[in-house]
Amino acid sequence: EVQLLESGGGLVQPGGSLRLSCAASGFTFSSYAMGWVRQAPGKGLEWVSLVGTSGSDTFYGDSVKGRFTISRDNSKNTLYLQMNGLRGEDTAIYYCAKSHGANFPGSRYFQQWGQGTLVTVSS
Amino acid sequence: DIQMTHSPSSVSASVGDRVTITCRASQDISSYLAWYQQNLGKAPKLLIYATSSLQSGVPSRFSGSGSGTDFTLTISSLQPEDFATYYCQQANSFPLTFGGGTKVEI
């Protein structure tokens, strides 16, 4: 059974940093692209970032480009999201998601999701 | 960026009803479209990918169609567990984008 367990969320002041982690199990982690999707309170889904199987290919949404960094450690079956320069509008539940495959287009569909971790940016 | 627009934003329906939700892309996305279901307080769930391919384990009452810019999700006979919000997502190009969602309610 696929399991994705996010951690690292919490309360942070504007301008601060936070690193989210997503521990994956139940599948061959290194064979799938992985991503982060967020949802602000009461709002819809917003794609944040995607990383390819090796970690060398990374993609970002416009609102986080230059501030967030996605990475993965295939030896630890773990996905990360380093978030710097946090703003109030970054407040959201952050979901870790396993893609449908390694390559286009499957890599861009999110087949399984974690339960999410809440990030609150406030002074 | 490709904008994804749902219609309607909400729909009232009853158990057993046939429900159709539409998603329109601001430019041609071929067949690179997915549908997700999100129940209140839960993580989203992939229902359909590549416009019409049913994700494993998803009931056959869900179906998808379309191409280019216009897509539909159809629930043939609404069940109590289907009252949720549905999102489309384009996978044609970065940045990946979701529609604003359609809430299916009683």
B22 in helix, strand or coil?
strand
Judge: B50–A109 Cβ closer than 8 Å, yes or no. yes
Sequence-distant (≥ 6) Cβ neighbours of residue B86 within 8 angstroms = B6, B21, B35, B36, B37, B38, B47, B73, B101, B102, B103, B104
A85 touches chain B (CB under 8 A): no
Judge: A95–B32 Cβ closer than 8 Å, yes or no. no
- In this prediction, residue A1 has a pLDDT band, given cuts at 50, 70 and 90, of very high
Residue A85 has pLDDT above 90, yes or no: yes
Nearest-CA neighbor of B101 among B86, B81, B89? B86
Mean pLDDT of all residues in B31-54: 97
What are the pLDDT digits (tens) for A17-28? 999 999 999 999
A1 touches chain B (CB under 8 A): no
CA dihedral over B69, B9, B101, B17, signed as positive or negative: negative
Compute the mean pLDDT over every residue in chain B, rounded to the nearest whole number: 97
Minimal Cα–Cα distance from A60 to chain B, Å?
7
What are the pLDDT digits (tens) for A94-109? 999 999 988 888 889 9
What are the pLDDT digits (tens) for A38-82? 999 999 999 999 999 999 999 999 999 999 999 999 999 999 999
Interface size between A and B, measured as CB pairs under 8 A = 63
Do residues A99 and A111 touch, judged by C-beta distance below 8 A? Answer: yes
CA B102, chain centre distance (Å): 8
For tokens 């709002």, the residue is A43
Mean pLDDT of all residues in B52-73: 97
Label each residue of B38-106 as H, E or C: ECCCCCCEEEEECCCEECCCCCCCEEEEEECCEEEEEECCCCHHHCCEEEEEECCCCCCEECCCEEEEC
pLDDT reported for residue B106: 82
Mean pLDDT of all residues in A6-34: 98
- In this prediction, residue B82 has a pLDDT band, given cuts at 50, 70 and 90, of very high
Find chain A residues with C-beta within 8 A of B54's C-beta: none
pLDDT reported for residue A102: 87
pLDDT reported for residue B93: 96
Do residues B80 and B106 touch, judged by C-beta distance below 8 A? Answer: no
Alpha-carbon Rg for chain A, nearest whole angstrom, is 13
Judge: A47–B89 Cβ closer than 8 Å, yes or no. yes
Strand order in the sheet with A3-7: A3-7, A18-25, A78-83, A68-73
> What is the C-alpha to C-alpha distance for residues B84 and A113, in angstroms, rounded to an integer?
17
Residue B31 has pLDDT above 90, yes or no: yes
Six token digits for residue A9: 């969320």
